[in-house]
Structure 1
Amino acid sequence: MSSSTPNKVPSSPPASPFKLALCQTPVTLDKEENIAVARDYLMRAAAAGASLAVLPECFNCPYDTACFREYAEELPAVGFKPTEDHSSPSLKMLRQTAQETKMFIVGGSVPEIANDGNIYNSSLSVSPDGTVVAKHRKAHLFDIDVPGGIRFKESDVLSPGGSATAFFAPEIDCTVGVGICYDVRFPELAMLQARELGAKVLVFPGAFNMTTGPAHWELLLRGRALDNQVFVAACSPSRSEGGDGYTAWGHSMVVDPWGTVLASADEKPALVVTTIDLGRLDTVRKSIPTSQQRREDIYRLQSVP
């Protein structure tokens, strides 16, 4: 059900507000440069006081099926310790930066090559001591064909993940759910994260495009926040104009449990920092107590073992 099982969340006292940062970085063909730029944005996030920072989907490579296998890295399992060595340059940057800044980092996503040769679109989350606390493999692959808009088929190269993912961050007293881009379109996944795994913040590294972005990006983020009365944060790469490849929508965004957009970027490279007050969840849930009004005699959410 979950690729990382959250620890038991303390019930009191109320959690203190914390700062969340979205790093809307540019992505080029140069993998080494992409990783260096991501680190620079993470350091800026730390300087702005962030306790939780998020990178975009495919922060180390272009979002292109032709690039995924070439840029793919082996990634470790949950629980991988900072004292253990690993070949992944993206992981090395993430855990070094987490240790230096004492932030939790949701490392966007990178192409992962598994032992069986399958390629996944995977996100590693790293704690302030450099431990891998969550690993999410994109569960819903982006296979679409919009007439006059965009055609894309991730399944030509990628395999789907098979679990809902969340981790508990004790320093901010918050369980964080992680999905990747197209995952946000499936409310059942967010419901599992919020209701069964206890997530109070849902994070979606995502690279919507110039067709689906203006139509659905904000709508979906606000919808998932309202469905579950949680915070939703989505981090996109910035837009690269003039190329023949995939063009990201940008507009990284944080939404509160009422559905209000707290902070957002435009299409350019940006660092979005906002304060998350988890007390807002209680206020909203008491005002509109949907969690107490569900009709489980009519419908029921059930995870697959």
Structure 2
Amino acid sequence: MKQIRAALIQMKVGTELVKNLENASKHIAKAKESGAGLVSLPECFNSPYGTNFFKQYAEGIPKGSTCDMLSKAAKENSIYLIGGTFPEIENGKYYNTCTVWNPEGNLIAKYRKMHLFDIDIPGKVTFKESDILSPGNEFTTFNIDDIKVGLGICYDLRFEELAKIYRLEGCKLLVYPAAFTTTTGPLHFELLQKARAVDNQLFVCGISPSRNEKGFRAYGYSQVTNPWGKVLVQAKEDEDIVYADIDFSECDEVRANIPIFNQRRTDIYDVKKI
């Protein structure tokens, strides 16, 4: 496979689970009607984002109303569906989890947020996901035909080591459902996606919820970035679907023109010597 149309769904998220699932399903069908073969939802698409909501909205995987909707939507629309994230519960522990579904409606990948969002910017934002959530400890990739895709979630975008591991595993696309705040988003959301794309010579998708006026205010500005670091498409802060026709041959072109991975000085960059 050389090309695919990707759709990033920047949707509104409210306090009613059923309405959130219905809204997601409606947008997925609309994305398919516009020719998308790969569709992604945002972080925390079935619930408000916040430590006081995670337990209330948590479900098991693959059983539960959220997984039922995702499986059905993937199958009915015959698409690869990245189910944003939602709170998962397993053995009494809670995770922020991304699921991936193939065109037959089968679960083909699951990624648990590895780097939890624990920050304190005095006078602006304080948040500790670790008060409720446990971190994941496994890298997750999946294939669309011969194209390998790597998964991260929001704060994971700041850790270039994760992206580098995925690149070394052969990924040509990284997908980050991400609800950046209105404090850090304007400064870093676009910048970090460009950095991950250029560093690893691949495409990067960042998918945010739309901005709410009450509760947690996500930054928005979902975007697709190509291997040259060019932003191909970008939303604003409101509910929207943005599309990009991704040509994976661009990865091969950039990697041939600027062969940084063929010139890695392993004799110098040997962590055992540091």
> Into which bin does the TM-score normalised by the smaller protein fall?
over 0.9
1:280-291 aligned at under 5 Å gives the runs: 280-291=250-261
Partner of 1:200, secondary structure, is strand
Residue 206 of structure 2 is aligned to residue 234 of structure 1: yes
Aligned to 2:236: 266
Aligned to 2:125: 150
Following the alignment from structure 2 to structure 1, what is the Cα–Cα distance between the partners of residues 216 and 131?
A: 16
Structure 2 counterpart of 1:80: none
Is 1:21 equivalent to 2:21 in the alignment? no
**Structure-2 residue corresponding to 1:132:** 107
Matched, 1:177 2:150: yes
CA gap 1:52/1:301 in 2 versus in 1, 3 angstroms = farther
Residue aligning to 1:11: none
Aligned to 2:67: 91
Match of 2:245 in 1: 275
TM-score of the pair, normalised by structure 2: 0.97
Matches of residues 209-224 of structure 1 in structure 2 within 5 Å? 209-224=181-196
1:37 corresponds to: 23
Q: Deviation of residue 58 (structure 1)?
A: 0.3
Q: What TM-score comes out, normalization by structure 1 length?
A: 0.87
Q: Which runs of 5+ in 1 are unaligned?
A: 1-14, 77-85
Corresponding residue pairs, total = 272
Q: Deviations over 1:121-157 (max 9, x none)?
A: 0011000111111100000000000122210000000
Alignment CA distance shift 1:218-1:184 (3 Å): same
| 2:116 counterpart (131, 134, 141) | 141
Deviation for aligned residue 1:288 = 1.1
Which aligned pairs between 1:77-116 and structure 2 lie closer than 5 A? Answer: 86=63, 88-114=64-90, 116=91
Which segments of structure 1 move beyond 4 Å, counting only runs of 4 or more?
A: none
Say which is worse superposed, 206-215 or 15-24, in terms of deviation.
15-24
Distance 1:134 1:107 in 2: 10
Distance 1:48 1:174 in 2: 22
Deviation at 1:300, TM superposition (A): 5.1
Q: Secondary structure at the match of 2:37?
A: strand
Q: CA deviation at 1:298?
A: 1.9
Asked if residue 293 in structure 1 is aligned to residue 268 in structure 2, the reply is no
The alpha carbon displacement at 1:165 in A equals 0.9
The residue aligned with 2:51 is 65
- Letter paired with 2:230: T
Deviation at 1:246, TM superposition (A): 1.3
**Letter of the structure 2 residue corresponding to residue 277 of structure 1:** D
Once residues 301 and 219 of structure 1 are traced to their aligned partners in structure 2, the CA distance between those partners, rounded to angstroms, is 27
Amino acid at match of 1:263: V
Matches within 5 A, 1:113-124: 113-114=89-90, 116-124=91-99
CA distance in 2, matches of 1:99, 1:257: 30
- Measured in 2, the distance between the counterparts of 1:282 and 1:149 equals 42
Quote the residue 1:46 is aligned against.
32
Name structure 2 gaps, 5 residues minimum. Answer: none
Amino acid paired to 2:159: F
1:183 aligned counterpart, secondary structure:
helix
For 2:184 and 2:20, locate their aligned partners in 1 and report how far apart those are by CA, in whole Å: 25
Q: Secondary structure at the match of 1:50?
A: coil
For residue 208 of structure 1, the aligned residue among 180, 191, 196 is 180
| d(CA) in 2 for partners of 1:167, 1:122 | 15
Letter of the 1:121 counterpart:
N
When structure 1 is superposed on structure 2, of 56-65 and 143-152 the one drifting more is 143-152
Please report the RMSD computed on the Cα atoms of aligned residues, expressed in angstroms: 1.2
User: What is the CA distance between 1:16 and its match in structure 2?
Assistant: 2.8
1:257 aligns with 2:230: no
Task: Tell me, in whole angstroms, the C-alpha distance in 2 between the residues paired with 1:204 and 1:259.
Answer: 16
Find out whether 1:247 has 2:194 as its counterpart.
no
Question: Bigger shift: 287-296 or 59-68?
Answer: 287-296
